Amino acid sequence: MCIRQALDSVESAIRLELTQVDSCTFDELTERLRYYSWNQVFTVVDRLSRQGIVTLQRSQGSVYTLSLTSPCSIEARHMTPV
């Protein structure tokens, strides 16, 4: 399996988990996805966050809660002003 396919697989798993649980901490997500390495999950969450697909909120100290960004927010972010 090439790196791109592996990352696509991790991304699909992350999206599925966040759809099912609505939100969770990063640690909870890595526990749910224990067949992927911490680094694989972090890399994809970082990319999805930068793309505006996943929202990260600091809840306490260094604990972050992740959730999928609503589709309306993503569309608005990608719209070009007229």
pLDDT at 73 over 90: no
Q: What is the pLDDT of residues 23-64, one digit of tens each?
A: 999 999 999 999 999 999 999 999 999 999 999 998 888 888
For residue 4, give the H/E element and its range: helix 3-21
Going by pLDDT thresholds of 50, 70 and 90, the confidence category of residue 82 is: very low
Phi, psi for residue 11 in degrees, rounded to 5: -60, -45
Structure confidence at residue 53 (pLDDT)? 95
Q: Give the span between the Cα atoms of 63 and 23, in whole angstroms.
A: 13
Quick one: average pLDDT of 53-81? Answer: 73
